[in-house]
Structure 1
Amino acid sequence: MIKAPASLDGKTILITGGGSGIGRETGLIAASRGARVILADIDAGKASAVAAGIGSESAAFGLGVDVTNSADVARMMAEVEAKSGSIDGLVCAAGLTGDATLLAECTDETWNSVVGVNLTGMFFTIRAAIPLLLKAGGGSIVNLSSVAGLVAVPNQVQYIASKFGVIGLTKSAAIDYAPQGIRANAVCPGGTRTPMLAGWVEADPDRERFLAAGHPIGRIAEPAEIAEAILWLISDASSFVTGAVLPVDGGLTIP
């Protein structure tokens, strides 16, 4: 028998990178299952537009935040606390890839921008969110890593280092806060049809066919497929899961 998706009724979920891609899709699905959704994004307009599409502020609201700036993250979290009191779930989906480059040719700017968002920004966000999760009596953190956090690919040193780091950060949060009822897990998507991927594919349509062929399942993912895995980890259905690293990659990392 196929079970209904886990309910998120009554949960308040904060999502960074919530203005587009996987973060946006996670917010839309979470709201459809009863959660109050807070969408934070570097582009406040995009976050607010997604929230407006969900409904009133009691159901969703959008915020601007630069996750690479710890003071701005603290400001954003204070606003979340003022409007919601606490949160039950945190999804860290803000991310960048950066230009393809050999390690020895990776500039300080490329390294700092990608690692700044993907890893340091995630650290700032989790650190600031923990008091609000504790205030709720515990909760669930889900961090977006990547298959590039499990296996290396050429010419993406900044992205690979950041996504491997996300897994270490996730495990650290899991072990530090398990006694206080906070779970932390990482999701590692394979190729996914997001705006970030779209530009790369549009430059050469053969790229999607090449990318799809690398997945044993024979295609790339839709954002909703990644969001479903994220929301299972946010929900109480995964109550005994913490410190896990879940590939959602169509079998890409099987070999």
Structure 2
Amino acid sequence: MVGRLMGKNAIVTGAAGGIGLETSILFAREGANVLMADISAEALEKGLMKVHQLSPHIQNKILSTVCDVSKESDVQAMVEKVDVWGGVDIMFNNAGIMHADDADAIDTADKIWDLTHNINVKGVWYGSKHAVLSLRRNKKTKGSIINTASVVALVGSATPQLAYTASKGAVLAMTRELAIVHAREGYRFNALCPAPLNTPLLQDWLGDDQAKRHRREVHFPTGRFGEAVEQAQAVLFLASDESSFVNGTDFVVDGGMTKAYVTPEGPATEPPANFAR
């Protein structure tokens, strides 16, 4: 089905790679105008090159902007850019950080805690706030805001990463409350809860620590990490009118991870060959 987002305007943060990049591509293919935002101009440029390579016919639907989501002035300026299109309809607050020095309650430094929460929690707050202001300013009767949380906010992490886990729990709580507060305005809020994915964020964090990697992979019935495009398909559903009665959910896309504590070891499976990109 093509055109599920036809005529809608979307913002994607953390858009230079991973879930954000795959979602930006899907949104544009489904007819949306997309503003890709990321803190790194260099990474954004690389992401745009990938968009052009994969789908040159949608490049006129995608713009980019540098944004530090931990700074409200940046977020406000980012959202106001979309006013030239008629205001935001879809906001995907996806930018996040999992710092390599994130650990347990004893060994996590204050600066790591603060950095993580400034991006993962304040960034979602600012994005949600200014999305609502844009929706109101442009007299929209419906809008969809999707916030990236994590399954670790539901079940805890196998490897200590306390600042990250706590920040994603805050995203879930914030999303639920926003969903209730703004429901009568027609603005839906949902939280995407991915399992660990094969993205640069996770791979950088795991590094060459095979023991740490194994402690995560063993929890997947499929024997593999998920792929970013699989999450993007879920975000597309939440952004579209097909999910018009979905509000305040913890939308779990985890390959069954949260349904099985530890699974028997076996050969890892490859991602399906027919991934929709």
TM-score (norm 1): 0.91
Cα 1:157/1:123, change in 2 over 3 Å: same
Counterpart position of 2:47:
50
After superposition, where does 1:183-222 map in structure 2 within 5 Å? 183-205=188-210, 207-222=212-227
Counterpart position of 1:235:
240
**Aligned partners of 1:48 and 1:35: how far apart in 2?**
20
Query: SS where residue 259 of structure 2 aligns?
Result: coil
Identify the match of residue 67 of structure 1 among 50, 66, 69.
69
Is the aligned partner of 1:143 residue 2:147?
Answer: yes
Q: Residue 149 of structure 1 contacts residue 163 of structure 1 at CA under 8 Å; is this kept in 2?
A: yes
1:171-207 per-residue CA deviation (whole Å, 9 max, x = no partner) reads: 1111111101100101111121111112234413565
Counterpart position of 1:89:
90
**Aligned partners of 1:126 and 1:210: how far apart in 2?**
34
Identify the match of residue 10 of structure 2 among 10, 13, 29.
13
Counterpart position of 2:19:
22
Q: Quote how far apart the aligned CAs of 1:49 are.
A: 4.4
Query: SS where residue 110 of structure 1 aligns?
Result: helix
Identify the match of residue 175 of structure 2 among 163, 170, 173.
170
**Aligned partners of 1:76 and 1:17: how far apart in 2?**
13
Q: Quote how far apart the aligned CAs of 1:210 are.
A: 4.3
Q: Quote how far apart the aligned CAs of 1:208 are.
A: 4.3
5+ residue gaps, structure 2: 261-277
Q: Quote how far apart the aligned CAs of 1:152 are.
A: 1.5
**Aligned partners of 2:147 and 2:2: how far apart in 1?**
20
Q: Give RMSD over aligned pairs.
A: 1.9
Q: Quote how far apart the aligned CAs of 1:131 are.
A: 1.9
**Aligned partners of 2:234 and 2:213: how far apart in 1?**
23
Counterpart position of 2:81:
79
Q: Residue 39 of structure 1 contacts residue 48 of structure 1 at CA under 8 Å; is this kept in 2?
A: no
Q: Residue 2 of structure 2 contacts residue 29 of structure 2 at CA under 8 Å; is this kept in 1?
A: no
Identify the match of residue 251 of structure 2 among 228, 243, 246.
246
Q: Quote how far apart the aligned CAs of 1:80 are.
A: 2.6
5+ residue gaps, structure 1: none
**Aligned partners of 2:122 and 2:90: how far apart in 1?**
19
1:127-152 per-residue CA deviation (whole Å, 9 max, x = no partner) reads: 11112223232210111100111112
**Aligned partners of 1:5 and 1:247: how far apart in 2?**
24
Query: SS where residue 63 of structure 2 aligns?
Result: strand
Query: SS where residue 104 of structure 1 aligns?
Result: coil
**Aligned partners of 2:223 and 2:128: how far apart in 1?**
35
**Aligned partners of 1:109 and 1:185: how far apart in 2?**
29
